[in-house]
């Protein structure tokens, strides 16, 4: 499944300072959908190069990190149970930096 993933608010530092990643995520056989829960696992093992504890806590993103699916707050779409589809854009932004 092809997806566009974007990391902002300092999270890009955890993936070689690259903000936008065009990725192809392999789905489990027989499935055509991917949950955010599965996507986070995939990101943790494929994109995060350092300090994964800055991105995930337990099975979710660290509190204080916002996630949007196609520019919609993931809290409106079921958070971890939200489903992403082909060509979706998922954005993660850390709010944990100063201002």
Partner 1 sequence: MENGDADGKPKRAAGRLCSICNQKKPALKRPKTLEQICRECFYSVFEEEIHNVIVDNHLFKPGERIAVAASGGKDSTVLAYVLSELNRRHNYGLDLFLLSVDEGITGYRDDSLETVRRNEVQYGLPLKVVSYKDLYGWTMDEIVKTIGLKNNCTFCGVFRRQALDRGAALVRADKLVTGHNADDMAETVLLNILRGDIARLSRCTFITTGEDGPIPRCKPFKYTYEKEIVMYAYFKKLDYFSTECIYSPNAYRGFAREFIKDLERIRPQAILDIIRSGENFRISTSTKMPEQGTCEQCGYISSQKLCKACLLLEGLNRGLPKLGIGRSRGPDRAKKDGKQRTLLSGVKGSDLQSKQCGTLDF
Residues that bind partner 1 (CB under 8 A): 8-10, 13, 54, 62-64, 66, 68-73, 75-78, 82-83, 85, 89, 91, 93-99
HSE at residue 71, side-chain half, CA atoms within 13 A, is 0
Cβ 22 to partner 1, closest distance in Å? 15
Q: Which of 41, 7, 3, 38 is nearest to 22 (CA)?
A: 3
Cβ 30 to partner 1, closest distance in Å? 19
Spell out the residues 6+ positions from residue 17 whose beta carbon is closer than 8 angstroms to its own.
Answer: none
- Decide whether 30 or 99 has the Cβ nearer to partner 1: 99
């Amino acid at each position: 499944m092809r997806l566009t993933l974007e990391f902002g608010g300092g999270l890009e530092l955890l993936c070689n300072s690259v903000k936008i990643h065009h990725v192809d995520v392999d789905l489990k056989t027989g499935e055509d959908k991917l949950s955010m829960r599965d996507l986070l696992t995939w990101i943790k093992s494929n994109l995060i190069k350092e300090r994964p504890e800055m991105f995930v806590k337990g099975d979710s993103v660290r509190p204080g990190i916002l996630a949007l699916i196609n520019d919609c707050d993931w809290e409106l779409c079921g958070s971890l149970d939200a489903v992403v589809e082909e060509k979706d854009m998922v954005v993660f932004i850390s709010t944990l930096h100063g201002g």
